[in-house]
Structure 1
Amino acid sequence: MQAAISVLGMGRMGSALARALLKAGHPTTVWNRTPAKAAPLGAAGAEVAASVHNAVAASEIVIVNVSDYAATESLLRNGAVAAALKGKLLIELTSGTPAGAREVQDWAGRHGIRHLDGAILATPDFIGTEAGTLLVSGPAPVFEESRTVLGALGGNVQFVGEDPGLANALDSAVLALMWGALFGALQSIAVCRAEAIDIETLGRQWSATAPVIDGLVADLIKRSAAGRYAADDETLSTVAPHYGALHHLVELMAARGIDRTITDGYEAIFRRAIDAGHLHGDFASLSLFMGRPAHA
């Protein structure tokens, strides 16, 4: 018999989680503040709970996927619900901060609740597939006990450490990487529109250039991890040519009236690195100036 699991929150992601659990054969109970959102899961075979307390009482494992940790707190931190959770496993898959995850684990520990914190690096359509990625942090023995359940949600489940904040911290780091690419694409589109370049041409150039960019990012991460900031025989690019190219981009944007919010940020980081003597250092040397505020 598969473990009975309750899922709180039937947004697009929560619904995908519940469907994956049903597909894996888990008796699944669902709850949502707006009952109509839970109705399709009821039609798919889930039990629809009338209240959070009923949902928590129905299963030994409770998965929460709501808007934020404040929403989780409002659902779980009352006497009856907390008492019903005692001795059970709470898997928090709500996006939040590392500090928030640590606070949840502290609260759970005080109430006799086992707890894992997770971050989903996937869109709902990847949930339950081999490509679905979940980062999980918390007590290692609890994670090991939960591998099968977590595996139903995605084929790429990664335990990132016992500090409960690590899953959210790594999630934020990956999102920063993703947003860098997405905002860079938005800026590229603005330049193409200003210069009357067909957007499909940009798409073809991205396909051709993506392997080069992937290599540069991988090298940047590797060199930063090793602390190799000075240029050497393996350097792919130093700060100087990038800074020169940035000026060309800024000049174009100024001429065309394109928003410079992003490039002004680039300029500030470049200037701090150059003022510290890294003009001819490896591009990875810029990482030394991203870990603290500009005024520090």
Structure 2
Amino acid sequence: MDMERKMKSSITVIGTGRMGSALASSLIQAGHTTTIWNRTRQKTDSLAKLGAIVAPSVEAAVMAGEIVIVNVSDYDATKALLHSDAIGSAIRGKLIVELTSGTPTGAREAAEWYTKHGASYLDGAIMATPDYIGTDAGTILLAGPRAAFDSHSDVFRALGGNVQHISEEPGRANALDSALLALMWGALFGTLHAIAVCQSEEIELDELARQWSATAPVIDGLVTDLIKRTSAGRFASDSESLSSISAHHGSMHHLMELMQSRKIDRSVVDGYDAIVKRAIAAGHLHDDFAALSQFLAVGK
């Protein structure tokens, strides 16, 4: 075991909140020498008991690892911690893996700063909750130099069974993260609307759960079809269309009337309606629902 540990990369994890702690714990369990640092030192105690080395400073933490994984609140927090002359000198030859939420632009700016200071840089998006880290289903998307990813496959495998390199372009992981979050929030806010409607109409939420289980495969099919048709530019209704804008428009107004009468917040649904109205005004009333993808640009 000692020989195996010596052969493994030494890792530093900056930020040991719930997600950072899950990352560090998985690395420790995989046998990596793991150094940690957190602004609030008490949050490192449980990891220290597992065998993590608690660094006295950010500079010491960065110096200790061949690979430095950053998981703090946002890119501004990362800049405040790491973008200094002292850290810039310390990171030469190291691999920096940013697993902090941010924007594609922020990722590109970070990549420029780290590479300017002689480090390799991978920008990542964690598509999982902390309990999935280290499991076969743990998904992390990484973007940046493919060689840096391939050289440390054992490290990434320790973090999850579905850690993927998706692009050399450093902003790609965060861009895809934002896209998937938009899809997730659509589902979650839709669920909030459904709950509000059921509560206003005195429908038990257990009944909503049962009917969702029956309806979910249909919705999954609609989402898959929407992505495929938009990718192919098949916006006109045809024999394979699953739904048209006109059908959704009518049903949406029924929902809006119900929400109005029950005093349920309509702001999100009003936003949907505005997009539909732009498409209808442009002559797409009877086209496939996928035609709406052309009307997301503000002012179109």
TM-score range with shorter-chain normalisation? Answer: over 0.9
Q: Secondary structure at the match of 1:286?
A: helix
How do residues 227-238 of structure 1 correspond to structure 2 at under 5 angstroms?
A: 227-238=233-244
Alignment correspondent of 2:164: 158
Q: Secondary structure at the match of 1:265?
A: helix
Alignment correspondent of 2:111: 105
Alignment correspondent of 1:21: 27
CA distance in 2, matches of 1:193, 1:137: 44
Residue in structure 2 matching 1:185, options 191, 196, 204 = 191
Residue in structure 2 matching 1:288, options 291, 294, 297 = 294
* Letter of the structure 2 residue corresponding to residue 116 of structure 1: L
Alignment correspondent of 1:40: 46
Note the C-alpha offset of 1:134.
Answer: 0.4
CA distance in 2, matches of 1:200, 1:261: 26
Alignment correspondent of 1:196: 202
Residue in structure 1 matching 2:282, options 272, 276, 281 = 276
How do residues 236-275 of structure 1 correspond to structure 2 at under 5 angstroms?
A: 236-275=242-281
Alignment correspondent of 2:4: none
Which stretch of structure 1 is more off in the superposition, 253-262 or 14-23?
253-262
Structure 1: unaligned runs, 5 residues or longer: none
Structure 2: unaligned runs, 5 residues or longer: 1-6
CA distance in 1, matches of 2:241, 2:289: 8
Q: Secondary structure at the match of 1:95?
A: coil
Q: Secondary structure at the match of 2:286?
A: coil
Residue in structure 2 matching 1:72, options 61, 74, 78 = 78
Alignment correspondent of 1:168: 174
* Letter of the structure 1 residue corresponding to residue 97 of structure 2: I
Alignment correspondent of 1:119: 125
* Letter of the structure 1 residue corresponding to residue 289 of structure 2: F
Question: Percent same amino acid at aligned positions?
Answer: 61
Note the C-alpha offset of 1:142.
Answer: 1.3
Residue in structure 2 matching 1:210, options 213, 216, 234 = 216
Q: Secondary structure at the match of 1:277?
A: coil
Note the C-alpha offset of 1:157.
Answer: 1.2
Note the C-alpha offset of 1:122.
Answer: 0.1
Residue in structure 2 matching 1:60, options 61, 66, 70 = 66
Q: Deviations over 1:257-281 (max 9, x none)?
A: 1111111011101101111111110
CA distance in 2, matches of 1:230, 1:143: 42
CA distance in 2, matches of 1:275, 1:149: 53
Note the C-alpha offset of 1:8.
Answer: 0.2
CA distance in 2, matches of 1:75, 1:156: 29
Q: CA RMSD in A?
A: 0.7
Alignment correspondent of 2:140: 134
Note the C-alpha offset of 1:79.
Answer: 1.7
Residue in structure 2 matching 1:11, options 7, 10, 17 = 17
Q: Deviations over 1:150-201 (max 9, x none)?
A: 1110100121111100000000000000000000000000000111111111
Note the C-alpha offset of 1:78.
Answer: 1.6
CA distance in 1, matches of 2:104, 2:84: 23
Note the C-alpha offset of 1:146.
Answer: 2.2
* Letter of the structure 2 residue corresponding to residue 56 of structure 1: V
Q: Secondary structure at the match of 1:281?
A: coil
* Letter of the structure 2 residue corresponding to residue 202 of structure 1: L
Alignment correspondent of 1:221: 227
CA distance in 2, matches of 1:141, 1:2: 18
- State TM-score, norm by structure 2: 0.97
How do residues 75-94 of structure 1 correspond to structure 2 at under 5 angstroms?
A: 75-94=81-100
* Letter of the structure 1 residue corresponding to residue 70 of structure 2: V
Q: Secondary structure at the match of 1:130?
A: coil
Q: Secondary structure at the match of 2:73?
A: coil
Aligned residues: 294
CA distance in 2, matches of 1:125, 1:148: 20
